[in-house]
Amino acid sequence: MADCISYIGLDVHKESIAVAVASGGLRGEVRQYGWVTNTARALDRLLRKLGGAGVRLRFCYEARPCGYGIQRRLAANGHECVVVAPSLIPKRPGDRVKTDRRDATSLAKLHRAGELTAVWVPDIGHEAMRDLVRARLDAVHSLRRARQQLCGFLLRQGCHYGRPAWTKLHRPHGTSPWAEGSRLAGLKFDQAVHHIVLEDYIAAVEAAEARRDRLRAQIEAMLPDWTLAPVVAALQTMRGMALVNAATLIAELGDLSRFANPRQLMAYLGLVPSEHSSGASIKRAGITKAGNGAAPRLLIEAAWSYRFPARLSRELLLRQESQPKPIRDIAWKGQVRLCARYRRPARSGKPANIVTTAIARELAGFVWAIARQVTIPAN
């Protein structure tokens, strides 16, 4: 006799989980089970009550801030559990009532019908690396904010530099912009409290820089033990893809082998044009901006480097020397193509941001091609 399948929808919150159960079959019963606390013991009790001999349980819940702990615990107990992309859940336009129990019931029904789109669930090591690179991105944003606050204070006091800030010209006597002889060292204010404010802003910038550098060092130290480290090393053969950029991109995207072709990766990154066509009317607009936000931003930053002629710098040659020839050939082919592609629309007057976005879309295709050449070792 075949196993009886039950589809369980979970609406997960920090303290509690709403549970709904849909029996197998198109017209099977759908019932609201109730609430359980969001603890490991409560989940184990739920499995004992819903499971049994000849019963297969298939769980689903939305990808929310609570993470993948529930999925990993259910999978460790031998049950299928998918984490669903919230933006791709079908919703009826006229449905204006939303409750946690109704959400759990809807998830159970849609999971039974096969209408849900699952997200890729990283392993514990990959999630740790992703948290680390995201912490570095937060540190970079904090540093940018601290610098802006310091520049804003100086501007209010009439201290105009006249040149781009935070460059080597801004730091003539070392790495610190307030070292002896630099711009900030000889500032004079009428009010003594302004010197205290200046020192506080300077300390905030220094602390943010130290945090960024500390997290970068941790990324470099953790990289050799990461299963996707060979992919990161291979991507560094590309122009604009140094260690931190490559590690951040792969940490955000995960295993690229799950994309059957580069077009799927481009669509996942939200770098493809949006379209609203009907009949003979074809209307295309800007990019969809779907999916992960950090990964396309990194690709667009890397795409700016292709506005210069194609060449192999000394740093790029050092990054390529340990890689096999097929990967180096793909990287060089990509650089030649993207540099030429950048110049043609730029000469015709196309806005630079549109050109750079188009280059980033094609760069994603070469990233996919290089990743396919790398053999990832087993855990």
Distance between CA 93 and CA 239 in Å, rounded? Answer: 46
Q: Which DSSP letter does residue 38 get?
A: S
Distance between CA 13 and CA 100 in Å, rounded? Answer: 9
What type of residue is 99?
T
Most confident listed range (164-173, 327-336, 343-352): 327-336
| Same structural domain, 131 and 75 | no
Query: What angle (nearest 5°) sits at the alpha carbon of residue 274, between those of residues 296 and 363?
Result: 35
Q: Give which of 78, 80, 73 is closest to 58, Cα–Cα.
A: 80
Distance between CA 327 and CA 346 in Å, rounded? Answer: 29
Residue 331 CA, distance from chain mean position: 23
Distance between CA 64 and CA 12 in Å, rounded? Answer: 8
Q: Give which of 253, 233, 245 is closest to 370, Cα–Cα.
A: 233
Strands 80-84 and 55-62: parallel
| Same structural domain, 255 and 364 | yes
| Same structural domain, 295 and 339 | yes
Average pLDDT over residues 365-375: 94
| Same structural domain, 186 and 316 | no
Please report whether residue 379 resides in a domain: no
Q: Give which of 258, 300, 253, 264 is closest to 133, Cα–Cα.
A: 253
Local confidence band at 292 (pLDDT 50, 70, 90 cut-offs): confident
Q: Of 194, 224, 254, which one is at a domain's C-terminal end?
A: 224
Local confidence band at 96 (pLDDT 50, 70, 90 cut-offs): confident
pLDDT in the model for residue 173:
47
User: Which of these ranges, 6-15, 150-159, 363-372, has the smallest mean pLDDT?
Assistant: 150-159
| Same structural domain, 99 and 132 | no
Distance between CA 206 and CA 249 in Å, rounded? Answer: 27
The fraction of the chain above a pLDDT of 70, given in percent, is 92
Q: Give which of 57, 48, 77 is closest to 10, Cα–Cα.
A: 57
Q: Which two tokens stand for residue 112?
A: 């039974």
Please report whether residue 377 resides in a domain: no
Q: Is 376 left (phi over 0), alpha (psi -120 to 50) or beta?
A: beta
Distance between CA 235 and CA 219 in Å, rounded? Answer: 16
pLDDT of 234 > 80? The answer is: yes
Query: What angle (nearest 5°) sits at the alpha carbon of residue 243, between those of residues 240 and 246?
Result: 65
- The boundaries of the domain holding residue 276 are 229-372
Please report whether residue 331 resides in a domain: yes
| Same structural domain, 368 and 236 | yes
pLDDT in the model for residue 176:
55
| Same structural domain, 305 and 324 | yes
pLDDT of 2 > 80? The answer is: no
| Same structural domain, 34 and 80 | yes
| Same structural domain, 212 and 329 | no
Q: Of 224, 246, 277, which one is at a domain's C-terminal end?
A: 224
Q: Which two tokens stand for residue 10?
A: 């979970």
Please report whether residue 20 resides in a domain: yes
Distance between CA 20 and CA 17 in Å, rounded? Answer: 10
| Same structural domain, 154 and 169 | yes
Per-residue pLDDT tens over the stretch 238-277: 999 999 999 999 999 999 999 999 999 999 999 999 988 8
| Same structural domain, 260 and 343 | yes
- Please name the residues in contact with 46: beta carbons below 8 A apart, sequence gap of 6 or more: 19, 36
